[in-house]
Amino acid sequence: MHPEKEVSQVNRPDLEEFLSALDGFLGVAPATTAKEAPADLRFLEIFCRSVGAGMGHMLIQNASGLKSVMSFGFRSKFDDEFNAVHSVSAAASPCPLDQAFLQKKVIAIIDLERAKQKLPDWFTEIMNRHKFQSLVAVPLLGPTSAMGILCAYYQDVCLFDQGTLDRLTVMGRMVGAAMEKASQPAPPPDVREKATDAFLTFLNAQPFTKIQIFGFLTKVLLQCLRADGLISGPVKKADGEFVITIVSGAGIPGSEISGRFVLPPFLMPALVPDPWPNNAREIKASDLGDFRRLISGDSAMSICYPLFSSNKLQGAVIAWREKGPAFSEAESALLSRMGAVASLGLATN
């Protein structure tokens, strides 16, 4: 029998330390070696520690495919040795890291002995050489593409609960969004950049409550999205319907704060944890339902982001414009990133 440990019982990632490490990715192009990016290596260390692992590595997608660019807990030649085998074997025999990248979802191997028949021989040899029994591979997902993989290894059998996997998915999206942004030409700072920095600083600088998270999320998104109206708050299912309680709002009557609203059917496709769709769309007055109390025009452009914790819907942020263009892909990506940060914040309270 192998000793077992449940990842949910090891130290959870420290949000302040995680956000500080994430900040090292912002505005910095992905590195190709650990020597080039000590902040990235520090983040890798934090990631491994947060899931109770003593070893792990980061892989980045380049023109030739996934490449291990830095490792933690291994001897110095691990990346070169892994890449040498992976580059000639993965195309014909993909390993769990390749599958996590291609399928864009977290993949965990709980017990190598039980999974051997499904693993390629070249990968099993690496696992056996280092006496690994389990692993977890987290895809780094940007708004438009997968950027790479974070992988942690264990020399014991590990049990990964769904809450842990969901939390790792959020972390992977945060890092992937930052990396994709850093890989593109840097635009001049604008109000959206400043608002994003302000939200990260808010979560990083002081204790906060769930109500404060909803409030500050509304404030910064109102600056970023140029919306006519915006609300956020917890969502619960009652009598087969999803109901939001407005904790914070802008562009709505003050008397509606703390009000409860049944979410209209047009928002239902947005209330999924993964993958989150860009659901920006035009809505007619006849589709608004309870939201007719908030939106007075004949039509509006709307967008919604769900806030999940442990695969359970915790809340949502909904924005609309009664006049003007639909929400752009860039605005959708920004909402996705801010919502992911807020979800992680809610999960720690």
Parallel/antiparallel/unpaired status of strands 241-245 and 134-141: unpaired
What percentage of residues in the chain have a pLDDT greater than 70?
A: 81
Cα gap 310→158, rounded to integer Å: 18
Strand order in the sheet with 146-154: 65-72, 55-62, 146-154, 134-141, 107-109
Cα gap 214→211, rounded to integer Å: 5
199 — pLDDT class (breaks 50, 70, 90): confident
pLDDT at 24 over 60: no
- The predicted pLDDT at position 92 comes to 92
H helix or E strand, kind and range, residue 224 = helix 210-225
- The predicted pLDDT at position 83 comes to 94
Residue 219 burial by CB count (10 A; 0-12/13-18/19+): exposed, middle or buried? Answer: middle
pLDDT at 197 over 80: no
pLDDT at 311 over 90: no
Listed residue (166, 146, 162, 134) closest to 52, CA to CA: 134
Cα gap 9→175, rounded to integer Å: 24
pLDDT at 59 over 70: yes
Fill in the DSSP letter of residue 171: H
User: Rounded to whole angstroms, what are the CA distances from 194 to 38, 197, 305, 342, 348?
Assistant: 25, 5, 21, 17, 25
Listed residue (55, 37, 48) closest to 168, CA to CA: 48
Listed residue (165, 171, 176) closest to 140, CA to CA: 176
Tokens of 339: 């919502």
User: Rounded to whole angstroms, what are the CA distances from 278 to 49, 69, 141, 216, 269?
Assistant: 33, 31, 15, 22, 10
Q: Helices marked H in 119-190 — which ranges?
A: 121-129, 162-182
Rg of the chain taking only CA atoms, in angstroms = 21
pLDDT at 313 over 60: yes
Residue 160 burial by CB count (10 A; 0-12/13-18/19+): exposed, middle or buried? Answer: buried
User: Rounded to whole angstroms, what are the CA distances from 187 to 29, 224, 335, 344?
Assistant: 14, 15, 18, 27
The least confident of 132-136, 138-142, 278-282 is: 278-282
- The predicted pLDDT at position 275 comes to 54
Cα gap 327→301, rounded to integer Å: 7
Residue scoring higher pLDDT (188 or 69): 69
Cα gap 143→18, rounded to integer Å: 20
Tokens of 93: 């025999």
98-116 tens-digit pLDDT: 999 999 999 999 998 888 8
Q: Which domains does the chain have, with CATH numbers?
A: 4-182 (3.30.450.40), 192-347 (3.30.450.40)
User: Which residues have CB under 8 Å from 159's CB, separation 6+?
Assistant: 4, 5, 6, 7, 110
pLDDT at 3 over 50: no
- The predicted pLDDT at position 185 comes to 58
Residue scoring higher pLDDT (262 or 30): 262
Residue the block writes with tokens 């790479």: 148
Cα gap 195→185, rounded to integer Å: 20
The least confident of 65-79, 129-143, 296-310 is: 296-310
Residues 206, 210, 216, 221, CA torsion sign: positive
Phi, psi of 36 (to 5 degrees): -75, -20
